Amino acid sequence: MKQSNMPNHNKSKLARVVRQSSSCVIRFCTLLVSSCVAMSALAASGGDGGKHEPRLSSEPRPFLTGKELGERTPPLLEFGGDFLGTGNIRRGYELPGGAVWTPRLWVYGTGRSAYQQFDVGDGGSKTAEWVNRLDLFANLQLTGTERVLLGISPLHEGNRFSGYTFDSDGEDGSFDNFNARIRTLFFEGDLAELLPNWDKEDGKKNDIGFSVGRQQVLFQDGMTINDTLDLFGLSKNNIRFEGVPWLVNWRSTFMVAWDEVNRENNVEDDTATLYGWFNQWDTIRSTIDLDIIVVESDLENADQLVTSINFIQRLGKIGSTFRVAHSRALDDESAVAGDGTLLFTELNYVPAYTHDNMYANFFYADGNYTSAARGPLGGGPLGRVGLLYAASGLGSYRPALSNRANDAYGFSAGYQKINDRARRQLTIEVGARENDATNTSEYGLAARFQQALGKRFVFQVDGYVADRDNQSSSYGGRMEFLIKL
């Protein structure tokens, strides 16, 4: 990385913005935490003195028959026992530590095939392509808490997919990216279940989950981490404190990732190590997530600190999420480690007597917010904002509006119509984005139609049109078939 040549007065201005942003974030988070604690305490002490009539009947109900449960859709392959099957569990194998393993192997996956074309506008390239993706997994289930998962994606490598390009700057032709690279391989379990003789009465607080290996990691809806990492993690659930009635559950996780760390530019940093502490509190009114992530790298100006907090709750009949994420370069700023703050709000409402969904999402990015890890198909941290911002994860199809979080603000709002017992849905969305750094505006309209076909197939059509200041309109459209194996 090159040393920053930012003038001193710009550095001073940036430092002042970062200090002000950090101060606002701290005050904002303190206010929200205090509000949640106050509401929880009020709910715990008020009302009818804690006496409630039972809502569930105490009368036993008969078991459902196989016909009432419906026909099971099995995965691609099953050995040792059916996935979601019925009947007796066969005798397992007892290990020296006291654990009883009943191995079952299930092979399943997802196949995607799409024809898509887009025009970036303003004289840019026009692309039409047929691209394919296959994700296969072998799940060796040992117990209800222990398993080994192996996954491969043989039709793509990074952001290059197998298929055919019909028009890309006058170059047509087929291309393949067949490979046998392992994309997922990890073992996870629970120490107390793996070694039950450690606590035969199961009365101690030693239920500690762990995971080691290569796996997909997603935190803060992908705004802080959206990547496949080689990692080791420990997680403690059901942490409770006497005298704190508003705290239903606290989960705390420590994680270190030593390989496969892709940075904000979606490029792997072979020298990076990621450390994370992730916490989630369930209260009687809200779910709160607080994450702290540090990335160390041998590259110049690539070390960074990322902190984030979010609150998920219902406000009357409206579901809501409020999130604050802040990144700070531990040295000078660069393309993979910047100083910035991202504010995000998500609101959704289900109209009466429907299964539909109305939503509105807003974001504000002050400075150059950079997430801790982003895979080659993850795009930018704003993909959660809506259809107009989301990466497709298949081919070179681009989102209508930029999903990078650098000195910008914007929104998306849409309506999702659900019919045919949730087998058909249509989503219409509008959105806009303003970039303060370049003084440019973007506007877009997007639509998505999905239809289930049988038990395993989904047909999907996407399209968008977008306008940018002083540029010609851009557009995109795609048709996709998805199969669940």
Token pair, residue 85, equals: 């099957």
Closest CA to 468 of 429, 438, 448, 447: 438
What residues pair up with 109 in beta bridges, in sequence order? 136
Q: 3-state DSSP call for residue 193?
A: helix
The answer for 299, left when phi > 0, alpha when psi is -120 to 50, beta otherwise, is beta
Taking the chain, what is the end-to-end CA distance rounded to the nearest angstrom? 44
Residue 275 to residue 293: CA distance in whole angstroms: 6
| DSSP-assigned beta bridge partners for residue 480 | 114, 460
Tokens 């449960």 label which residue?
69
Q: What is the dihedral of CA 137, 138, 141, 147, to 10 degrees?
A: -70
Domain boundaries, the chain: 8-42+74-484
HSE value, Cβ hemisphere, 13 Å, CA-based, for 40: 21
State the CB neighbour count (10 A cutoff) for residue 69.
11
Give residue for tokens 């998306």.
Answer: 412
Q: For position 471, what pLDDT does the model report?
A: 77
290 C-beta neighbours (distance < 10 Å), count: 16
Q: Residue 3 and residue 442: Cα distance in Å, rounded?
A: 32
DSSP 8-state class, residue 383 = G
- The first and second tokens of residue 453, run together, are 């076909």
pLDDT in tens, the chain (485 residues): 334 444 444 334 334 434 444 444 444 444 444 444 444 443 444 444 444 455 667 788 777 766 677 788 899 999 988 888 877 888 888 888 788 899 999 999 999 999 999 887 766 668 889 999 999 999 999 998 999 999 999 999 988 999 998 865 556 677 888 999 999 999 999 988 888 887 777 777 778 999 999 999 999 999 999 999 999 999 998 888 888 888 899 999 999 999 999 999 999 999 999 999 999 999 999 999 999 999 999 999 999 999 999 999 999 999 999 999 999 999 999 999 999 999 999 999 999 999 999 999 999 999 999 999 999 998 999 999 999 999 999 988 889 999 999 999 999 999 999 998 889 999 999 999 999 878 889 999 999 999 999 999 999 999 999 998 877 788 999 999 999 99
The domain defined by 8-42+74-484 folds into Porin (2.40.160)
Q: Are strands 182-190 and 147-152 parallel, antiparallel or unpaired?
A: antiparallel
With H, G, I as helix, E, B as strand and everything else as coil, classify residue 475.
strand
Distance CA 326, CA 368 (A): 10
